[in-house]
Amino acid sequence: MDTNKTKIALITGVTGQDGAYLAEFLLKKGYVVHGLKRRSSLFNTDRIDHLYQDPHANKRNFILHHGDLTDSSNLIRVIQETQPDEIYNLAAQSHVKVSFDTPEYTANADGVGALRILDAVRLLGLTKKTKVYQASTSELYGLVQEVPQSEMTPFYPRSPYAVAKLYGYWITVNYREAYDMFACNGILFNHESPVRGETFVTRKITRAVAKIALGLQNKLFLGNLSAQRDWGHAKDYVEAMWLILQQEQPEDYVIATGITTTVRDFVRMAFAEVGIEIEFSGKDVMEKGVVIDRDEEILNRLKIPIEHVKLGQTVVKVDPQYFRPTEVDLLVGDPTKAKNKLGWIPKYTLPMLVKEMVDSDLQLMRKEEYLRKGGFTILNYFE
């Protein structure tokens, strides 16, 4: 094989958090990157707009295609047209709580969607050319069987999302064994970033912290504060996806930091970034987070008026609508295999991640504050 040939990648879910980081990463490595995006009634390319290239340009290395994981003929056509060396199947209905409301759709997109990709590669006779990465998840571990969780830990999924991803995991293993395909699962633990979807807990927290500090919001309502997650940075995790496909042998890998933290502690850390110290009291739905101290040096440095947050003010409350019918209480991954075989070492720590997310949301919310102060309001075309 000519190793100098420009590599071609196809990323499904390119408009999502990981898709955007991965596209940037692969473009820097010299790949031609094709991305599959869904048609939507509003623009949905915010996260990749900085990579956009004019379709009229002569030579492009970042090309978007409309598509959907529930549409086999579309997937077959896009794969045939692009002839990728590597497919990263990142597209999914990725919200665990939402999967309880849309279980059938989630099964179709997240479970059968993985099959559609693998089978398209097989039907097109590309099994020797095209490597496939499947976005598997720590949600597969679900109800705790052992900690830390490794490639050998039994699965016990606890949501329609996790059950759909279980199918995606095993169909990837099956196609690897049945058709000798280079198909791998990355079992990735939670990873976040400033462009994390706004309804996942970390981003919901950092956005609210920024809004509360700037006086644009009073309270943050959350669900289960005792859940423990192994949180890393998406930038580190997309590098692991790529490394998994560069190995001699196709294998599955756990990608995690090995450190777990409660949602409650993540909230404390995020408020501390803006100089607000909070203490939790009460239990279950009575639990609340109250301001007990303020660091004036930090507030001054960030130009946050001290009167925005009062001592004794309740800034966090529990709302049972965010509880899940079945919860995953504790996730902590064992990344030993990834470290030894892939040489993968994450560069970000949790404090670095929290700081980056809070800083970014402060900047975003200052824009909103500025517009509000300037008298600009959202235009209403419907009155």
Residues serving a catalytic function are 137, 139, 161
Residues between 293 and 352 that touch ligand NDP (CB under 6 A): none
Q: How far apart are CA 309 and CA 189, in angstroms?
A: 34
* Cβ density class 37-51: b for 16+ within 10 Å, e for less: beeeeeeeeebbeeb
**Six-digit token string for 152:** 């050998």
Interaction mask 301-330, ligand GDR, x per CB under 6 A: ---------------------x-x--xx--
How many residues bind ligand NDP (CB under 6 A)? The answer is 25
**Six-digit token string for 238:** 């997309």
Instruction: Indicate whether 103 belongs to the interface with ligand GDR (CB under 6 A).
Output: no
Interaction mask 59-78, ligand NDP, x per CB under 6 A: ---------xxx--------
If the CB atoms of residues 227 and 299 are measured against ligand GDR, the closer one turns out to be: 227
**Six-digit token string for 134:** 């499947």
- From residue 9, give the alpha-carbon distance in Å to each of 26, 64, 119, 229, 253: 8, 12, 17, 31, 20
Pick what 69 binds: ligand NDP, ligand GDR, none; C-beta below 5 to 8 Å, kind-dependent.
Answer: ligand NDP
Amino acid at 153: T
Residue of 227, 255, 358, 362 interacting with ligand GDR (CB under 6 A): 227
Interaction mask 262-291, ligand GDR, x per CB under 6 A: -x----------------------------
Q: How far apart are CA 288 and CA 309, in angstroms?
A: 15
Instruction: Indicate whether 82 belongs to the interface with ligand NDP (CB under 6 A).
Output: no
Instruction: Indicate whether 201 belongs to the interface with ligand GDR (CB under 6 A).
Output: yes
Instruction: Indicate whether 96 belongs to the interface with ligand GDR (CB under 6 A).
Output: yes
The answer for residues whose C-beta is within 8 angstroms of residue 137's C-beta and 6 or more apart is 162, 165, 187, 188
Q: How far apart are CA 313 and CA 306, in angstroms?
A: 13
Q: How far apart are CA 115 and CA 107, in angstroms?
A: 11
Binding footprint of ligand GDR on the chain (CB under 6 A): 94, 96-97, 137-139, 189-190, 199-201, 204, 222-224, 227, 229, 263, 322, 324, 327-328
Binding footprint of ligand NDP on the chain (CB under 6 A): 12-13, 15-19, 38, 40, 44, 68-70, 90-94, 109, 135, 137, 188, 190-191, 197
